[in-house]
Structure 1
């Protein structure tokens, strides 16, 4: 299994617009072979000092894939290219962490 944490920071005020495109693309991603989990997450309010806030312009995409091949196919999917074309102008930064379960 492959875990992915994608940390997306939008240009100021653009996070919700990116998330609208993201949510519209989710059914196509969930239908991909090997997709176990794929969804966005934002800061939980009022958690105090327990957390380090991402901030109002950032969200994390939490993904699980059955194999590296499934993740590679996902990255090459036409619907992902369409999503990227729509959102790229609104993104300030994107950091991708690809992880394997620790033994």
Structure 2
């Protein structure tokens, strides 16, 4: 199994717009071959935990194989999603992991 943690930082005040676009794209991603999990997360309220901040969200993904993840990245809907958000994103860090 392949795990992905993608940390997306929006330009100030643009996170909600990106999340709206993200949520609209989720059904297409869930329909992809090999998609086990794909969803956006944000900081919880309260607690003494480290925070990403109000402009950042984290995408948690699980894929059956690296080939499935590569096909996801090359899909037409992900290219359209990237184009729609290109002027809204300040930074993006994608970590691809495997079970230890």
TM-score (normalizing by structure 2): 0.99
Q: How many equivalent residue pairs?
A: 100
Partner of 1:89: helix, strand, or coil? coil
Runs of 4 or more, structure 1, over 4 Å off, are none
88, 91, 97: which one aligns with 1:90: 88
- Structure 2 portions without partners, runs of 5+: none
Provide the residue aligned with 1:77 in structure 2: 75
Partner of 2:43: helix, strand, or coil? coil
55, 77, 81: which one aligns with 1:57: 55
Mapped pair 1:24 → 2:24: yes
- Structure 1 portions without partners, runs of 5+: none
